[in-house]
Amino acid sequence: MPSAKLGIAPIAWWNDDLEELSDDVSLDECLRQAAEAGLTGMETGRRFPMNMDELGPILDRHGISVCGGWFSGLLLDGDIEAEKDRIAEQHAFFKAAGAPCIVYGETARSVQGERQTPLAQKPVISEPEMAAYGRKISDFADWCATEGMPIAYHHHMAAVVETEAELDLLMKHSSVPLLFDAGHMAFAGGDNFRVIDNHHARITHVHTKDIRQTVIDSLDRTSESFLDAVIKGAFTVPGDGSLDFEAIVKALADKGYEGWFVIEAEQDPKANPPLDMAIKGRAELKRVMDAAGYEVTK
């Protein structure tokens, strides 16, 4: 029986790109709500102290562990040595926290955080450029793993690796571990099941982000940005959107995936109260994981 753990990202409570989509709660209250919802892990966010002497007792109080966290990488245009310096503090902190990985998001040229830049203006590179980038990200990932804290590459809307075809090229030209995000891949028009079939051996971390298909279908990608889509409610938790997570989780189980399933759904916490959303997402995940034969552990 494959085993898995259930976590959540703090973006349900506080959005690091859109502060207006944030609930005015403390880290302690955020962790308390996650624990009440039955979750045992949380990825890091802006209100997390990067020091286990300070954070450890808060986590212990709620029975929560660090199950990942975002790093804004700049390797597409940057230098590996510079990126090693940029990630060093987070690397050391995640090792001390016993986290499974650092979530690597490529933000060079990305328009994901630019409210005024339409989705259609995302960066696009050629296959030779992707091959060169793949070599850099592979070398960086190898170094991170050797230093004791692997990265998992997050394909992301409005970034250089957004579409299924772009992900296929990155996987072809690199050896970097993959974070599979069902919501981002569906938003990009990709086939989640084909991605799992093609790249399951590389998947080391999973974000269970659901989408509201009607919102995505209504977007004008020539004029609306990724952040516009978030504000409109493009994302939600499993069980509240359009994706078939029972089939997605079964496909991952069939390919032998074990590890974290992290609820990560940025949306308006006033319209979608984080505790209610966490309870709903966790209940749906537990249901589909039971159906897929997973043993959920702490």
What pLDDT, in 10s, does the model give residues 57-92? Answer: 999 999 999 999 999 999 999 999 999 999 999 999
Determine the 3-state secondary structure of 238 from DSSP. Answer: coil
Q: Which of 14, 171, 13, 156 is nearest to 71 (CA)?
A: 156
Task: Encode pLDDT of 133-186 as tens digits.
Answer: 999 999 999 999 999 999 999 999 999 999 999 999 999 999 999 999 999 999
Find the Cα–Cα–Cα–Cα dihedral 6, 94, 207, 154, rounded to 10°.
Answer: -170
Residue 23: band (very low, low, confident or very high) from pLDDT cuts 50, 70, 90: confident
Task: Please determine, for residue 25, whether its predicted confidence score (pLDDT) is greater than 90.
Answer: no
Name the residue with tokens 């890091």. 44
- The two tokens of residue 125 are 């590179």
* pLDDT of amino acid 46: 86
In single-letter form, the type of residue at position 13 comes to W
Rounded distance between C-alpha atoms, residue 118 and residue 208, angstroms: 25
Q: What is the pLDDT of residues 201-256, one digit of tens each?
A: 999 999 999 999 999 999 999 999 999 999 999 999 999 999 999 999 999 999 99
Mean pLDDT, all residues of the chain: 96
How far is it, in rounded angstroms, from Cα 283 to Cα 270?
21
Both tokens of residue 126? 């050629």
Q: Which amino acid, one-letter code, is at 14?
A: W
Q: Determine the pLDDT at residue 15.
A: 85
pTM: 0.97
Contact partners, residue 248, CB within 8 Å, separation at least 6: 182, 192, 193, 196, 288
pLDDT at 188: 98
- Beta pairing class for 259-263 and 3-8: parallel
Residue 122 has pLDDT above 90, yes or no: yes
Amino acid at 257: Y
11, 265 Cβ separation under 8 angstroms: yes
Which of the 8 DSSP states describes residue 158? Answer: T
Distances in Å between the alpha carbon of 61 and those of 35, 161, 178?
10, 38, 31
